[in-house]
């Protein structure tokens, strides 16, 4: 790196043509989008598409390639993936009645569920289950929220909920 300090535009540009030529150097083509995004699956360019729920990025090679990404201020952003803390399967967002929660894609073999917090599965690892050493997740029952073991029904340890926190039972009287 031995770039001269500061602005290295020549001060003696004599023609508009030369100026245009010099300005092309960094951007490729005048008028082209400032940046091109490539599909991470097949290396074709990504194109901004309009869908029912707004714009999104799709692969130019669609339908041969089904890669899509969310559009965030003109940039493709891949939706985050979340994995089951018990079995490593992918978590899927589910809606049951008015509950939104995350369930394991290996259901029914794996019954892990996680509460939804701002569109992401709650990482409740901070509340270990005293009964089995796994951890507690916030659940919604008929009488409101409570904390239950992620290994339910194998482990039926539960704690009451107080404003999103499990209330520890007193260890001794």
Residues that bind Zn ion in the complex, under the rule CB under 5 A: 39, 41-42, 44, 59, 61, 65, 67, 84, 86-87, 89, 104, 106, 110, 112, 129, 131-132, 134, 149, 151, 155, 157
For Zn ion, the closer CB: 6 or 153: 153
For Zn ion, the closer CB: 23 or 43: 43
Helices (H), the chain: 16-27
For Zn ion, the closer CB: 12 or 139: 139
The tokens describing 9, both together, are 């535009």
Q: How far is the CB of 31 from Zn ion (least distance, A)?
A: 25
The tokens describing 91, both together, are 């978590």
Count of C-beta atoms within a 10 Å radius of residue 114: 23
Q: For residue 130, what are the CA distances in angstroms to 84, 160, 161?
A: 20, 14, 16
Q: How far is the CB of 56 from Zn ion (least distance, A)?
A: 14
For Zn ion, the closer CB: 47 or 117: 47
For residue 12, count CB atoms less than 10 angstroms from its CB and return exposed for 0-12, middle for 13-18, buried for 19 or more: exposed
For Zn ion, the closer CB: 124 or 149: 149
Q: How far is the CB of 12 from Zn ion (least distance, A)?
A: 46
CA atoms within 13 A on the CB side of 6: 2
Q: How far is the CB of 163 from Zn ion (least distance, A)?
A: 22
**Bridge partners, 101 (sequence order):** 94, 115
Q: How far is the CB of 141 from Zn ion (least distance, A)?
A: 17
How far, in Å, CA of 56 to CA of 87, rounded? 31
């Amino acid at each position: 790196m031995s770039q001269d300090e500061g602005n290295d535009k020549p001060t003696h540009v004599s023609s508009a043509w030369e100026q245009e030529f010099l300005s092309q150097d960094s951007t490729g083509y005048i008028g082209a989008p400032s940046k091109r995004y490539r599909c991470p699956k097949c290396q074709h360019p990504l194109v901004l598409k309009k869908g029912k729920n707004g714009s999104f990025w799709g692969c130019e090679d669609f339908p041969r390639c089904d890669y899509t990404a969310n559009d965030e201020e003109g940039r493709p952003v891949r939706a985050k993936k979340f994995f089951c803390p018990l079995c490593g399967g992918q978590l899927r967002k589910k809606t049951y009645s008015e509950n939104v929660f995350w369930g394991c894609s290996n259901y029914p073999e794996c019954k892990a569920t996680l509460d939804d917090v701002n569109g992401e599965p709650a990482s409740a690892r901070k509340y270990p289950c005293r009964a089995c050493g796994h951890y507690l997740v916030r659940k919604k029952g008929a009488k409101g929220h409570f904390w239950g073991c992620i290994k339910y029904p194998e482990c039926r340890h539960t704690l009451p909920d107080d404003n999103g926190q499990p209330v520890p039972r007193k260890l001794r009287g």
